[in-house]
Chains A and B, each alone.
Chain A
Amino acid sequence: MAYYQESMERASRDEMTALQSERLVNQVKHVYENVAPYRAKMREKGLEPGDIRGLEDLYKLPFLTKNDLRDEYPYGYLAVPLSECVRIQSTSGTTGKRVVAFYTQHDIDLWDECCARSIVAVGGTNEDVVHVSYGYGLFTGGPGLNGGSHKVGSLTLPMSSGNTERQIQFMTDLGSTILCCTPSYAAFLAEAIHDAGLIDQISLKAGIFGAEAWSEEMRREIEKNMRIKAYDIYGLTETSGPGVSFECAEQTGMHVNEDHFFPEIIDPDTLEVLPEGSKGELVFTSLTKQAFPLLRYRTRDVCVLTRKECSCGRTLIKMAKPMGRTDDMLIIRGVNVFPSQIETVLLNQGYPANYLIILDRVSHTDSFEVQVEMTEEMFSDEVRFIEKKEAELLASLRAMLGISPKVTLVAPRSIARSEGKAVRVVDKRKI
């Protein structure tokens, strides 16, 4: 079993708790002194840095939400002078105003190390060729895994996303062994590799797939089609990017890099901290970041934390694959579905991201329809061509969601546009 930073990844409970406590105390002081909006939040609760003497006092601290960050865009939560920052990354801003996260060189190094732990955990060494097909740029996926791969000493292929033909050519010509991208793109690539008849010419052994929700079915599908092991990785721009947690060979949840990101599970309504093993909203406190250190940041991801002995030897606490969101999650025939997953598939297949999900309950079963607008590019005077496109879309949706919707092609611009948050879901179910 190989580890990137064994002393942290296999620390005893006492060692880890002591380290977390010490880091928390320092971090609270740093934030209180340098982040005015958070200082105001603490004062509202009558708190001073001295009141936080260790992990046992964490529950006293106020929470942060995405809205707090948006309200103070861009510099409100910056905790060091800009002259000490070397990079920004940013959220996509699809759900509103974007959040810009700042990094010092120290922050980048820690982030890269977290991603390096993930690469080593899936079997990566300096002999590997790490093929990074996450987007590069403001999105954290590309830069994160790129940095991690450098730390491990692997040959890094900064492919970025798109241009499937070129992706496959580099895979075959340079012998990529570890693929990093979104699970939906991995599924798409697998198909393209098969279509090109090149499955026997690729040397991939593992994949690190994150940045969007995916099912166990999708994992098995990718593993089978690509002949690899597929591992999950989790992170968010607000805390750093991918590498907040990562999967090991056991594939039963992701080890949280808790020496950097302290996780809690709370009840999203009462805001009470829930005991280990409970399902609730995941909250992270950044223990080591300098430039953008968020305390008790509410991720909106619904999740479970468990601390069990892991066969990989790591002692880091494990989080389950997020089971949903506290905001826009739908449960359809028992399966969690996010409108954003449907959006991802539509965009990948060249459809407009204007769609409508219609749910109803017919004889005790949920009916699930996705209406998609027809486009010039999709249209043909031949029925079979349109039906082929429709079947492809349905297959991708099934792979992404784990259940099959009914896809209906509707006239262009027939789905209502909205100035603010678009209405994406019509739920007629009476439960």
Chain B
Amino acid sequence: MLIDQISIFAENKPGTLAEITAMLAEASIDIEAFTIADTSEFGILRLIVDAPKKALAVLKLGGWVATLTPVIAVKMDDQPGSLSKILKMFAEAGVSIEYLYAFVAREAGYAYVIFRVEDAPKAVAILEASGVVTAASLA
């Protein structure tokens, strides 16, 4: 199962993040996960939200360059070895990971890891074949 991540181009200048989050707040969009890849000149914001299509429309209307990126969200036990186990599976199958980020889930004892991989359908098939659950949402 793949979920939509919002990716946004942001210049490195004061106020950019405040502006984007204010816009999403006004549209009552809940940000569930948020990370930034930054270079010396610009950043790429990566967000998981409760209503990605609506968020994309709001951002585009506001003049931002944004896209939906399919990513895999894996819910795993929040304990040593969980992530390692999955990465090992990917490594053995030759699945190349572009980036990932992780955070603790609302439900105690669990964590979510968001994977952006080169070949998403293949990665999902590998996970499902080994009984790993890919989340349809982070709610």
Contacts and interface: CB of A to CB of B under 8 A. Distances in A.
Nearest to B99: A382
Given A381-B44, A387-B39, A412 B5 contact: no
Interface in A390-431: 408-414
Contact of B65 (A382, A408, A411): A411
Given A411-B9, A411-B10, A414-B11, A379 B65 contact: yes
Interface string A348-374: 000000000000000000000000001
B44 A383 contact: yes
Nearest to B68: A381
A262 B10 CA distance: 54
A380 B98 CA distance: 12
Given A381-B69, A411-B65, A412-B64, A374 B9 contact: yes
B75 interface: no
Contact of B11 (A378, A387, A410): A410
Main secondary structure of the interface of B (DSSP, over half): strand
Contact of B42 (A376, A381, A382, A386): A386
Nearest to A409: B42
B63 interface: yes
A408 B7 CA distance: 19
A387 B41 CA distance: 10
B65 A376 contact: yes
Given A381-B7, A381-B69, A382-B98, A413 B63 contact: yes
State the majority secondary structure of interface residues on A: loop
B63 A412 contact: yes
A375 interface: yes
Interface string B60-71: 000111110100
Nearest to A412: B65
B44 A408 contact: no
Contacts of B69: 381
Contact of B67 (A379, A409, A410, A413): A379
A379 B63 CA distance: 14
A374 B65 CA distance: 7
Contact of A381 (B39, B46, B64): B46
A253 to B, nearest CB: 41
Contacts of A409: 9, 11, 41-42
A376 B67 contact: yes
Interface string B1-33: 000010101110000100000000000000000
Interface residues of A, number: 18
Contact residue range for chain B? 20 to 34
A411 B37 contact: no
A380 B116 CA distance: 12
A299 B10 CA distance: 43
A381 B41 contact: no
A382 B44 CA distance: 8
Contacts of B5: 381
Interface in A274-316: none
B5 to A, nearest CB: 7
Nearest to A371: B11
Contacts of B64: 411-412
Contacts of B63: 411-413
Contacts of A383: 37, 39, 44
A383 B64 CA distance: 17
A306 B79 CA distance: 82
A5 to B, nearest CB: 55
A382 B7 CA distance: 9
A381 B45 CA distance: 8
B68 to A, nearest CB: 9
Contacts of B9: 374, 379, 386, 409, 411
Interface in B80-108: 98-99
B54 to A, nearest CB: 18
A411 B11 contact: yes
A240 B46 CA distance: 55
A381 B39 CA distance: 13
Contacts of A408: 41
Contact of A375 (B11, B46, B65, B116): B65
Contacts of A382: 44, 98-99, 116
Nearest to A378: B65
B67 A381 contact: yes
Nearest to A411: B11
A379 B116 CA distance: 16
A192 B76 CA distance: 47
Given A375-B65, A383-B37, A409-B9, 11 more contacts: A374-B9, A374-B42, A381-B5, A383-B39, A386-B9, A409-B11, A409-B42, A411-B63, A411-B65, A412-B63, A413-B63
16 contacts: A374-B42, A381-B46, A382-B44, A382-B99, A383-B39, A386-B44, A409-B11, A409-B42, A410-B11, A411-B9, A411-B10, A411-B11, A411-B63, A412-B63, A413-B63, A414-B11
